[in-house]
Amino acid sequence: EVHLLESGGGFVQSGGSQRLSCAASGFMFRNYAINWIRQAPGKGLEWVSGISGTGTETFYADSLRGRFTISRDNFEDTVFLQMHSLTSDDTAVYYCAKERESSSRGAFDSWGPGTLVTVSS
Amino acid sequence: QSALIQPASVSGSLGQSITLSCTGTSRDIGDYEYVSWYQQYPGRAPKLIISEVYNRPPGVSTRFSGSKSGNTASLNIFGLRIEDEADYHCISYRVNVGLVFGAGTKLTVL
């Protein structure tokens, strides 16, 4: 059974940094792209970033490029999201999600339960 | 403002069939078959119910179907049940941008 579990959320001061992790199991990790999607309290979903199975290709939402960095460790079956210069606008539940197949573009068939990042001023 | 336009709320009666809309542009929905729909209950992670406009993943009820016309994608729900009351989100690939979501539609079953 596919399983994704995010960690690393919590309270962070405005202007600070946070590193999120997404631990995966139950599938051939290196064969699948993993994405981060976030949801601010009471708001809709927002795509944040994605990384190919090999890790050679990375993608970012334009508004976040430069502050967020996605990476993966295919030996530890884990994806990371490093976030810098955080503001209250970054307060959200951050989900990691597995793409259904390599060319599915936005079809995420497995999600973690999410981790809450709260940026306080 | 979200890149894709969804109505904030829709309601329907038990047993009724309804359609949720998701309107984009020729740079996303209009030109690509990469539209997915997600169902989300409060406090829970989203669940994929439609991918690539029409495809229903294994285990998803046949009461859900997807379609597209021009720049607008639609999620059709047949025979509304109480358990269909949830938030529904659409997502599409957009050229030179990546992935864009709508703000979501809250479905109320009366």
Q: Residue B107: is its pLDDT beyond 70?
A: yes
pLDDT digit string, tens, across residues B45-83: 999 999 999 999 999 999 999 999 999 999 999 999 999
pLDDT single digits (tens) A96-109? 999 998 777 999 99
> Which of B32, B35, B48 minimises the CB distance to A109?
B48
HEC letters along A52-100: CCCCCCEEECCCCECCEEEEEECCCCEEEEEECCCCHHHCEEEEEEEEC
- A111 min Cα distance to partner chain B (Å): 7
Instruction: Please report the pLDDT score of residue B64 as a whole number.
Output: 98
Q: What percent of chain B has pLDDT over 90?
A: 95
Q: How confident is the model at residue A67 (pLDDT cuts 50, 70, 90)?
A: very high
Residue A41 touches partner B, C-beta closer than 8 Å: no
Q: What is the pLDDT of residue B58?
A: 94
Percent of chain A exceeding pLDDT 70 equals 100
Within 10 A of A45 (CB to CB), how many other CB atoms are there? Answer: 26
Give the separation between CA A101 and CA B75, rounded to whole angstroms: 22
Q: Which run of H or of E encompasses A105?
A: none
> What's the pLDDT score for residue B39?
98
Cβ of B47 and A111 within 8 Å? yes
Q: Which pLDDT belongs to residue B1?
A: 57
- In this complex, do B51 and A44 lie within 8 Å of one another by their Cβ atoms? no
pLDDT at A103: 74
